[in-house]
Amino acid sequence: MAVSALVYALLLIVSSVCSVFGNSMLLLLVLLNKNLRSDTLPLTISFCLCDLGLGLSTMPFGVYNSLAQPDHHGDGPLCQASAFIFILLQLASIHSLTWTTVDKFTEICFALSYTTIFTEQRTWAVLGVVWLYCILNATLPLVGFGKYAYIPGRFICAPSFQRSCLGFNLLFVVVGIIAPILIMCCMYAYIMYVAKKQARRGTFICNEQHCFYVPANNYLRSSIVMLATVVCLLVCWLPYIVICFYETLTGHESSELVSAVATWLALSTAAVNPWINSMTQTRYRVALRRSLGKIRQMFQQPVKGSHQSTANQPGDMGDSCTSGSPPVPLTTLPPHTATPTPPMELSSC
């Protein structure tokens, strides 16, 4: 077994584990925390399920092929089905993620009319169009427009980047990958421009009880997160795009090492997406801390209950009735008395 194949298998295993863990955790957070639910929640669940599917299907398939390296793969039904699932989930993930970015862009740049732009009905309509496009695109090679084949350097069944498949390859790469990535990069760039303007003048955000001054560091921190998201997208997808154009236009196959690295980077987006697009947001981190706190309390309550029952046994030295100390009287408020509320203060973030 070649060392490169072994390294490729290890990288895919790590990516698969991170994808399954990250997307499963994000799904649980969304389902268990009502404050994370919104009209655009189906978009988040869509790319989350797609990335989870890639971590459970395409990545294990690549690990098996890189380790076992069977002699005959062919273009049988299993290979065709694997390539169909790979393209379907990859396209649905990136397009759902694009519309999630559009939702974020609309929420920031069109805050006053956001609730009328993104409604629940429109979100489901957008999601239906996205999945219909992805299904049609993934079905084209099965009916003769394009070709699915086993690629030895990538260890998976995927679209064949041959000159005879020029039309499908351009449709798949330009419309399916390049266009949504450019849209996301442009939107993140404009959001960072808006954040820079807000950082210069500062702003106040008020709710029903407090007014918070948002310092410049908050805007700059958000810009760094968005910049990291853009860089991650470009790093993960540019090698795959370059290989597609190189093999399609020149007719030459790229080296197996370059092809394997490009494929692993494209698949690793399934492991990176839940962390850079959701867990970098404050509300998701707060929800995660609350969920972990509830889980910790669930495990601590039985332990505390057992200690208290042991300490309150009759004749115990810690029992207040046997120690001779008088009971402490309980004070209650009068029936129509309310606890005074502290004055409202202006607090900063």
Domain contains 220: yes
Most confident of 14-18, 65-69, 111-115, 333-337: 14-18
In a domain, 94, yes or no: yes
pLDDT of residue 10: 93
14 with 55: CB under 8 angstroms? no
In angstroms, rounded to a whole number, what is the distance separating the alpha carbons of residues 139 and 87?
Answer: 9
Looking up residue 229, the CATH number of its domain turns out to be 1.20.1070.10
Any domain includes 86: yes
Spatial separation of the C-alpha atoms in residues 245 and 257, rounded to whole Å: 17
* Residue type present at position 150: Y
Q: What's the Cα-to-Cα distance from 62 to each of 6, 57, 87, 158, rounded to whole Å?
A: 11, 9, 14, 11
The better pLDDT of the pair 206, 339 is held by 206
Cβ-based burial of 273 (10 A; exposed 0-12, middle 13-18, buried ≥19): buried
Q: Given a cut of 50, is residue 321 above it in pLDDT? A: no
Q: For the segment 147-175, what is each residue's pLDDT rounded down to a tens digit?
A: 898 888 888 988 988 888 888 989 999 99
In a domain, 222, yes or no: yes
Task: Note whether residue 129 is domain-resident.
Answer: yes
Sign of CA dihedral 23, 183, 126, 89: negative
Tell me if 318 is assigned to some domain: no
Which segment of 201-215, 220-234, 242-256, 313-327 scores lowest on mean pLDDT? 313-327
Residue 256 lies in a domain: yes
Weakest-pLDDT range from 16-30, 61-75, 208-222, 281-295: 208-222
Output the six-digit token pair for 74: 């062919």
pLDDT one-digit tens code per residue, 109-142: 887 788 888 888 999 999 999 999 999 999 999 9
| Top mean-pLDDT range of 36-40, 178-182, 193-197 | 178-182
Over residues 264-279, mean pLDDT = 85
Residue 327 lies in a domain: no
Higher per-residue confidence, 286 vs 328: 286
Interval 90-97 mean pLDDT: 94
Number of domains in the chain: 1
| 13 Cβ neighbours under 8 A, 6+ residues apart | 59, 63
Task: Using the predicted structure, report yes or no on whether residue 228 has a pLDDT greater than 70.
Answer: yes
Instruction: Evaluate if residue 338 carries a pLDDT over 50.
Output: no
Closest CA to 38 of 131, 93, 94, 100: 100
pLDDT of residue 274 exceeding 50, the answer is yes
Instruction: Give the domain range for residue 269.
Output: 3-291
What are the helix (H) ranges across 171-215? 179-201
In this prediction, residue 200 has a pLDDT band, given cuts at 50, 70 and 90, of: low
